[in-house]
Structure 1
Amino acid sequence: MPYFDLSPTELEAYDPQISEPSDFDAFWNATIEESRLAGWEPRLTPVDSALRSVDVLDVSFAGFGGDPIKAWLLLPTGATEPLPAVVEYIGYGGGRGLPSERLAWSSAGYAHLIMDTRGQGSTWGAGGGTPDPHGTGAATNGYMTRGIQDPADYYYRRVFTDAVRAVDAIRALPEIDAARVAVTGGSQGGGIALAAGALSEGLVAVMPDVPFLCHFSRAVGLTDREPYQELVRYLSVHRNARERTFATLSYFDGVLMARRASAPGLFSVALMDFTCPPSTVYAAFNAFAHETKRIVAYEFNDHEGGGAHQWTQQAAFLAELGIQ
């Protein structure tokens, strides 16, 4: 794998001017408020599993428009005080999987909510169970162009709202210390975490790992990998839709979300990442508004990034912030 993007020095300084819609904040404030009004109390069902050090609960909570969203909640067995929590979002095409697949956070003493991604969960992993009941107009295969004709109909409007409502849901539980909630995720999950960090109040940390959904205008011309190629294929057919497409995407760009961050941030980037090019990650990192931020660069890695090494960095970051 060759280096294909900017040099490390250029990446560290890369701060593109990305214009944002004048009604960006109004759009998202109205979206979140409407979904909160349509909400209902989270539903938790204990799961009889083979795990002995972790209690597993099957969760349903109200996402976008009150739609039911599935999640796993993993709690350290025997906890007697309200716990700090980590909400995790999943990479493109995956679902919440099985509870036994993600035990690190609960083993470290945190409550861990793993949100299913609506409509996904059938590309890799152990599956998901949350439908997306909303239709869209013309789209390519995948999720990137569903509803691309209008920000109000775009697929990620629903997903990003689900992410905020996942934070709301876990804060409502007596087992959780609502003042100590962090968000994380890799790839698509990292992009979703950036959105949750912008649109949720009072988080203690935002930890996007090799985040997707950042700096769309650069990504689609720089990489020939999926999922950004979904946008390329769409525009190769809808030849006159460029302006409308990127106007829609501007409401969902991780760089613009990063500008609204109000909690400390820990990023990771892989310098040989052809899926989420390094410059798109640095664009979000350099725009990240909170003064406490750090990025870990994996010089010789593709989109797998730091893997388990990055989880160790995240755990240490929360400990430095006193979130234990």
Structure 2
Amino acid sequence: MAHFDLPLDQLRSYRPDLPVPDDFDDFWARTLSESRAAGWAPRVERVDAGLSLVDVFDVAFAGFGGDAIAAWWQVPVGQEPRAVVVESIGYSGGRGHAHDTGAFPMAGVARLVVDTRGQGWNHGSGGGATPDPYGSGSHAPGVLTRGIESPETYYYRRAYTDAALAVDAARALAPGLPVFVTGGSQGGGLSIAAAALAGDVAGAMPDVPFLCDFPRATTLVDSMPYAEVRTYLAAHRERVDEVYRTLSYFDGAILASRATAPALFSVALMDTVCPPSTVFAAYNAWGGEDRALEVYPFNNHEGGGGHQRAAQLRWLRDRLA
């Protein structure tokens, strides 16, 4: 795929005029307050992951409505971690295997890798361990239109709350340590939500984030998962305004304006899954002044891959120096 979105100089200033619901902040404050009231202390059980340099624990913490959310807590052996990274998962993935530690524990940083409720059907990720015990009306296959009739019932109300409360869980597991949030694609969108909603995170590293600038994303590309919205609206022609009103409560380009922590984003200019303009919409709206963006001109949704992980490790090290 060649470059198909706005030229880079226009992307750098792209700020869509997205409608913000009048009760946007009240909606999220109420949602988090109700779920925190139903919360409970994280449950932790050590597991034998076959590793000698990283200790791994099976964790359950209270997410939306007090629902149990599964996670892996991975801590470097023989040293006190310098920080915690809460990592959210890409669309259709699960938390994976206990031994899938990634680079962060090797850098002396504890990692809480969080399952995504109702997902984990991508067998390459090792599957998920967290159900989503809520029904919904008619929706396209996948979760992007599940419960989309109302922000109260929408799937991502639960998933965003889980992401924010994962930060609470990390603070309970490692009191006093700075907490960073990260993730790629859907995980990038969830990290934006966590940074905006959890409050006082030390930093955010959204990698080629999904779930941003819904009006543009759902009309610019026909790739999955955004195509789920198109599929739904092709059948429910009368619900266009209703659907976009619901999505406005969950738009990462709006939530980003509520986030003030330091941030390192990435974008790929040939990304047909999360179009570049939608990533720039969130980046340009970010509420904090300490922000940076790695641009990969010739990559699709794989973004920077290992290059971006190296950039994240350098960025994290600089903030912990």
Q: TM-score, normalised by structure 2?
A: 0.98
Match for residue 258 of structure 2 among 251, 257, 260: 260
C-alpha distance in structure 2 between counterparts of 1:191 and 1:299, whole Å: 21
Check whether the contact 2:187–2:206 (CA below 8 A) recurs between aligned residues: yes
C-alpha distance in structure 1 between counterparts of 2:81 and 2:206, whole Å: 25
Whether 1:269 and 2:267 are equivalent positions in the alignment is: yes
After TM superposition, list the pairs within 5 Å mapping 1:136-175 onto structure 2.
Answer: 136-173=136-173
C-alpha distance in structure 2 between counterparts of 1:43 and 1:212, whole Å: 30
Q: Which amino acid aligns with 1:276?
A: C
Whether 1:249 and 2:247 are equivalent positions in the alignment is: yes
C-alpha distance in structure 2 between counterparts of 1:48 and 1:101, whole Å: 13
* Partner residue in 2 for 1:214: 212
Whether 1:311 and 2:304 are equivalent positions in the alignment is: no
Where does structure 1 differ by over 6 angstroms across 4 or more consecutive aligned residues? none
Shift of 1:125: 1.5
* CA-to-aligned-CA distance 1:263-294 (integer Å, 9 cap, x gap): 01100000000000000000000000100000
Give the secondary-structure state (helix, strand or coil) at the position aligned to 2:104. helix
Whether 1:46 and 2:50 are equivalent positions in the alignment is: no
* Partner residue in 2 for 1:88: 87
Check whether the contact 2:70–2:130 (CA below 8 A) recurs between aligned residues: yes
Match for residue 184 of structure 1 among 182, 185, 196: 182
Shift of 1:103: 2.6
C-alpha distance in structure 2 between counterparts of 1:235 and 1:82, whole Å: 48
* Partner residue in 1 for 2:120: 121
Shift of 1:316: 1.1
Shift of 1:179: 4.5
Shift of 1:177: 4.5
Whether 1:135 and 2:125 are equivalent positions in the alignment is: no
Alignment size in residue pairs? 320
Give the secondary-structure state (helix, strand or coil) at the position aligned to 1:100. coil
C-alpha distance in structure 2 between counterparts of 1:73 and 1:101, whole Å: 11
C-alpha distance in structure 2 between counterparts of 1:82 and 1:2, whole Å: 43
C-alpha distance in structure 2 between counterparts of 1:73 and 1:231, whole Å: 34
Give the secondary-structure state (helix, strand or coil) at the position aligned to 1:16. coil
Q: Which amino acid aligns with 1:61?
A: F
Check whether the contact 1:63–1:166 (CA below 8 A) recurs between aligned residues: yes
Check whether the contact 1:179–1:204 (CA below 8 A) recurs between aligned residues: no
Note the aligned Cα RMSD (angstroms).
1.0
Give the secondary-structure state (helix, strand or coil) at the position aligned to 2:11. helix
* CA-to-aligned-CA distance 1:32-69 (integer Å, 9 cap, x gap): 01000000110000001211000000000000000000
Give the secondary-structure state (helix, strand or coil) at the position aligned to 2:304. coil
C-alpha distance in structure 2 between counterparts of 1:177 and 1:255, whole Å: 31
Shift of 1:320: 1.9
* Partner residue in 1 for 2:56: 56
Give the secondary-structure state (helix, strand or coil) at the position aligned to 1:13. coil
Check whether the contact 1:84–1:177 (CA below 8 A) recurs between aligned residues: no
Give the secondary-structure state (helix, strand or coil) at the position aligned to 1:207. strand
Check whether the contact 2:84–2:177 (CA below 8 A) recurs between aligned residues: no
Identity %: 53
Q: Which amino acid aligns with 1:285?
A: Y
* Partner residue in 2 for 1:230: 228
Q: TM-score, normalised by structure 1?
A: 0.97
Give the secondary-structure state (helix, strand or coil) at the position aligned to 2:258. coil
C-alpha distance in structure 2 between counterparts of 1:299 and 1:178, whole Å: 39
User: What runs of 5+ residues in structure 2 fail to find an aligned partner?
Assistant: none
* CA-to-aligned-CA distance 1:139-188 (integer Å, 9 cap, x gap): 11000000000000000000000011111011012xx2534000000000
Check whether the contact 2:83–2:109 (CA below 8 A) recurs between aligned residues: yes
Give the secondary-structure state (helix, strand or coil) at the position aligned to 2:146. coil
C-alpha distance in structure 2 between counterparts of 1:187 and 1:240, whole Å: 30
C-alpha distance in structure 2 between counterparts of 1:104 and 1:274, whole Å: 27
C-alpha distance in structure 2 between counterparts of 1:38 and 1:145, whole Å: 26
C-alpha distance in structure 1 between counterparts of 2:105 and 2:247, whole Å: 35
After TM superposition, list the pairs within 5 Å mapping 1:4-43 onto structure 2.
Answer: 4-43=4-43
C-alpha distance in structure 2 between counterparts of 1:201 and 1:168, whole Å: 10
C-alpha distance in structure 1 between counterparts of 2:10 and 2:299, whole Å: 19
C-alpha distance in structure 2 between counterparts of 1:27 and 1:178, whole Å: 29
Give the secondary-structure state (helix, strand or coil) at the position aligned to 2:270. coil
